[in-house]
Structure 1
Amino acid sequence: MRSEYSTPGRYGPKEVATGARGMVVSSEPIAVEAGAAVLRDGGNALDAALAVAATQLVTEPHMTSLTGGISLVYREASTGRAAYLSGNVNAPLAELPDFGGADLTRARGVPVPGWWPAFVAAQERFGTMSVGRLLAPAIDVAREGFAVSPYLFGEMYNARQNLGRHPQSRAMYFRDGSLIGPGQALVQEQVARTLERLRDEGMHYYRGDFARAFCAASDADGGVITPEDFDAYAPEWADPVRGTYRGFEIIGSAPPDDGGLQLVEAFNILENLDIASLGPASASPETLSALIAVHNAVYYAPPRERRFRENHRVMDVLLSKDYAKQRFELLDTLAAPSAGAPPTPGTIHLSVVDADHNVATLTHSHMASPWVNGLFAEGFQLAGGGSFFQRVMPQPGERATIYLAPSMVLRDGAPVIASGSPSVSLVACVLQNLVNLMDFGMPIEQSVAEPRFGARPHDPARGWVPGTTLESGFPEAVLRDVRRWAGANRLWTRDIGPWNSMTGNFDGITIDPTTGEMRSCGDPRRMGVAVAV
């Protein structure tokens, strides 16, 4: 294990990073440094983003997998055009009759992956470096090993029963019959070999030996995915969703990744309220209540499926300011959320800006609890992203509808914020931080440290349920008024302590349009960092 892989990140406050030659921020330091090295070597923001994501397959296996998906928004500085890439998971071509919660821990809950096809599509369209260069850090870390952080160990310990079931996972996560402990090296030799074959053989290996190994693992547990599912899968490029807010332009993911649309809808509603006069949510019960109500109005609404993107009339209504004004007038009646999708704890976001102000904002994930089914193929867990089939069941072979929200903000045509978040509360996280940055001009290091509200409290009797979580740190007077408002509107709230990872992890970068200075800071809720080039 090399020395640079032996110092894991930490929870808590992080140092702010500033610079003008490029910036990378995400939830794990080894991967962030891999992206920064790509920028130093002359790669662009897309190159760096792919290097970070590939390295996170190795260093954050509890959050993402080659068997999951990618959602990307990329803006090319030379043309000023932004593109959205849907590389998320598909439903199998075979039908899944009577699909339900019991399937989420079995192979019937395993979707058709899109991670690698999306990686290739992004590299071919916008990349300047070879796939080999972008995968090199991940292969190196997988083979050399890295120090298990206390956070990763906690996830491993919680999932030890599933990790101990499969010979591939036992070979990686156990030593002498015992789970690898904090500070010990996690070596993933089979993962390194798989990444090398992807580097050398590309889609031929992916649709061949990898697909067959994946399907064999799925078949052994009652799954229905076949190599034909891999052949049929295709990443999709589309125009991102766009909206405006007090002189800013919001750009985000388009359906079936509907978090971007939720953000634009939320800001359209919020524009009807003079937030700046009320003060930030950390000091104003009126602002905090308004943000919760606006968030709930869009997050707990019916999912915006792919068909929404293809129906221009529906999209025009959803994105219109007139519709937003009507929703603003009904906020009190919309505050009580209805039942909806289960949470998605396993997700990563990363943001990159290069010296030319190309912007990459990318969310990738296995979209389930870590190692939820105990199934492995070629060194990678089989993702449990079928949890999103309960949100809205896709047709056979159709893309799942997932509320990911890679996004960015422009002013006068120039990027000023790259943003995104993982977790069940990712839309709430991005909304709150963008309000802090746009309405109140907070420096990003202050914004990420502010207390937040989140989505879906956990009830020991009912599991994850609709409602609102509240971190510690809000003044008691603010909490008192907000709880009174919530009770009057039948909204269940739950206190969850300080800096809880389930309220998201804002991986954002601000860019001063006058000086070009970039500024970022790792969120204290995970172990990430920001690195300036």
Structure 2
Amino acid sequence: MGPAAARISALLAVLVTVPVLAQQPNVQPVRAPHAMVVTVEHNATDAGLEILKAGGNAVDAAVAVHFALAVVYPFAGNLGGGGFMLIRDRHGNAHFLDYREKAPAAATRDMYLDPKGNVIPDMSLVGYKASGVPGSVAGMAYAQKHFGKLTLAQDMAPAIRLATEGFVLSAPEATGLQSKNVARFPASEKIFQRDGNFYKEGETFKQPELAETLKRIAKDPDEFYKGAMAKQIADYEKANGGIITAEDLAAYEVKEREPIRGRYRGYDLITAPPPSSGGIVLVEILNILSGFNLTKLGPGGSESKDRSAAQVHIITEAFRRAYMDRGDYLGDPDFNQLPLKQMADPKYAAAWRASIDPNKPTPSKDLIRPAGFLPPPPSVSPAKESTETTHFSIVDAEGNAVASTTTLNGGFGSGVTIEGLGFLMNNEMDDFTSKVGVPNVYGLMQSAANSIGPGKRPLSAMTPTIITTHASLFHRPRLAYVMGTPGGSTIITTVANDIISAIDNGLNIQAVADAPRFHHQYLPDRLDFEKKFPDDVVSQMKAMGYTTNRNQAADDKSPGLWGDSELIAVDPKTGELMSGHDSRRSYGKAAGY
């Protein structure tokens, strides 16, 4: 143990350990011997399970889930958005599919600025100019063609059925459709709000236009990008002042990228590369933490154990340092040279680790990056990252695994529905830098590498992650965890906390999904907690010198939460699959066979 870690251990004498999971001491995961699907919406879970039972593999099920979510979870599920899919096949081969949205050819660096150079409010968030070229349809078609076993039509059949026959709305799903964003656009209001006659709990929500669009895609997915459907999309964009053209759609391509890899406590991580910032920042966080005995600080051991203020302090300081690097260096790898190798260097992590004060936080304004590892950073600019995303995890009977995170960016995206086609468009252009050097409303900073440019893909925090045991001379690596969450800038810290809860604190995977969350992103220099995080720990962090914030705590009607971890773990002794569906979303579920 290094001197910093030794000093931190001494804090246990004065820092009180407070139960984090006292409200749910006996939460248990769903178990299945062969295959497992876990998503934010129960109909989508059933769609994936149906395909697995019909002979499809994990990728077929992922395609089924994605299209089903476009029907039953329009808040984030989509045809008009994009995302990432991480695949690990039963032989141990990993593939990362990038079907992130791209800026249209007409996009310019200053397109959201007024003549005085100020950002025009909401222009990158709402309406026809807010959308990037969607990648989801291309991503699903590519995944099915290269890695699936069934046909695209088979994989899409559950989604087509859900759109045609409808599905019964739960209370939160019905309420969720009452979005002001949707009400701004007649085509959207007609579908999702019946022109102001809002859907109610127990009613069946049918989407005939979307059903016909799905049938056309199932027959020929290229029509979305190069056929009659592409022309419909482009004509509608042009008629309403949008900038996506038929040429933009025809030029879209899915990228296969090399996953980011790392190690932690004897496990191997496979995770998201740029244009996601998630994987490299996650690896940097865990590299810094690997030099501390978090189990002792936790102290961890089982779901009846607790997370202490001492552990929260060390984890927070790792978050702070890694997010500083995220802000300074990351962007689209097709347009920038990114120092990924240097950021993942264990020696660099050790240098960061040595800068952590065991007794108090390091103010972000005083943080100095260890010299000699990274090049000088480019100029700084704001990152806008929405929290309205969705993640799902799947493992099939052969041992193939998929972790997939997809998004429209904001809730219901730009609010725009393509008339006659029935699907919402993203507002992903808001994830680019609108103006260099000006912090956005979240205060999240990132480099000019993420400035707007034709064909560029905006930086993301989406972090689909698969974890295996470490290979040795005597043992092949075995699948251990499939993880991910939505949550905008909180995605990376949520996945990191899920890994720590499972590996260091020994929680079962359901308890991991439900554990209260905390987050620090370097700027603003503030430690955020979910509302249900124990008061005593928050008080201790404030006493140590942190500026603390209870998420939406002033609003008694707000649940004060973020993220939606949909997780799968493999029992190392029996091989049984165990799933944790995040109880923050009452209409999702885990199911297997």
Q: Same fold (TM over 0.5)?
A: yes
Structure of greater Rg? 2
Equivalent of 1:468, from 527, 533, 540? Answer: 527
For the residues of structure 2 that align with 1:222 and 1:330, how far apart are their CA atoms? 51
Question: Where does 1:29-428 land on structure 2 (aligned, <5 Å)?
Answer: 29-78=42-91, 80-96=92-108, 97-99=110-112, 100=119, 101-103=121-123, 104-159=125-180, 162-163=182-183, 165-167=185-187, 169-175=188-194, 178-279=197-298, 282-300=306-324, 301-302=326-327, 304-307=330-333, 311=337, 314-331=339-356, 332-333=361-362, 335=364, 340-377=382-419, 378-390=421-433, 392-412=450-470, 413-424=477-488, 425-428=490-493
**Structure 2 Cα separation of the partners of residues 388 and 516 of structure 1:** 40
Q: State the shift of 1:334 in Å.
A: 6.1
Is 2:264–2:286's contact at 8 Å kept on the other side of the alignment? yes
Higher fraction of helix: 1
Structure 1: gaps spanning 5 or more residues? 1-11, 458-463
Displacement, 1:211? 1.9
Contact kept in structure 1, 2:551 and 2:560, CA below 8 Å? no
The alpha carbon displacement at 1:471 in A equals: 2.0
- Is 1:452 paired with 2:517? yes
| 1:448 maps to amino acid | A
1:507 to 1:204, Cα distance in 2 relative to 1, 3 A:
same
How far, CA to CA, are the matches of 2:390 and 2:354 in structure 1?
Answer: 35
TM-score normalised by the chain length of structure 2: 0.80
2:40 aligns with one of 27, 47, 51? 27
User: Which stretch of structure 1 is more off in the superposition, 43-52 or 91-100?
Assistant: 91-100
Cα–Cα, structure 1 residues 280 and 397, in superposed 2: closer, same or farther, change >3 Å? Answer: farther
Q: 1:172 to 1:107 in 2, by over 3 A?
A: closer
Alpha carbons 1:172, 1:186 under 8 Å: kept: no
Aligned partner of 1:87: which letter? Y
Deviation readout 1:452-474 (Å, 9 max, x if unpaired): 114689xxxxxx96743212444
Instruction: Name 2:303's counterpart in structure 1.
Output: none
Partner SS, residue 129 of structure 1: coil
Deviation at 1:17, TM superposition (A): 1.0
Tell me how far 1:217 sits from its aligned partner.
2.8
Q: 1:372 to 1:507 in 2, by over 3 A?
A: same
What is the rounded CA distance, in whole Å, between the counterparts of 2:511 and 2:226 in structure 1? Answer: 46
Deviations 1:497-516 (A, max 9, x none): 59957521111100123311
CA change 1:335–1:177 in 2 (3 A) is: closer
What is the CA deviation profile of residues 404-425 of structure 1, one whole-angstrom value per residue up to 9, with x for unaligned ones? 1000111131110000001122
> Where does the alignment leave 5 or more consecutive residues of structure 2 unmatched?
1-23, 113-118, 301-305, 368-379, 434-445, 471-476
Distance 1:143 1:455 in 2: 44
In 1, the alpha carbon distance for the partners of 2:492 and 2:414 equals 24
Cα distance in 2 for residues equivalent to 1:502 and 1:139:
32
Counting aligned pairs with the same residue, the percent is 27
Q: Secondary structure at the match of 2:47?
A: helix
Secondary structure, aligned partner of 1:83: strand
How far did residue 309 of structure 1 move? 10
Rounded Cα–Cα distance in structure 1 between residues aligned with 2:397 and 2:336: 35
* 1-structure distance, mates of 2:403, 2:412: 23
Opposite residue 299 of structure 1, the aligned amino acid is Y
1:149 offset after TM fit, Å? Answer: 2.4
TM-score under structure 1 length normalisation: 0.89
**Amino acid of the structure 1 residue aligned with 2:106:** A
Cα-Cα RMSD: 2.6
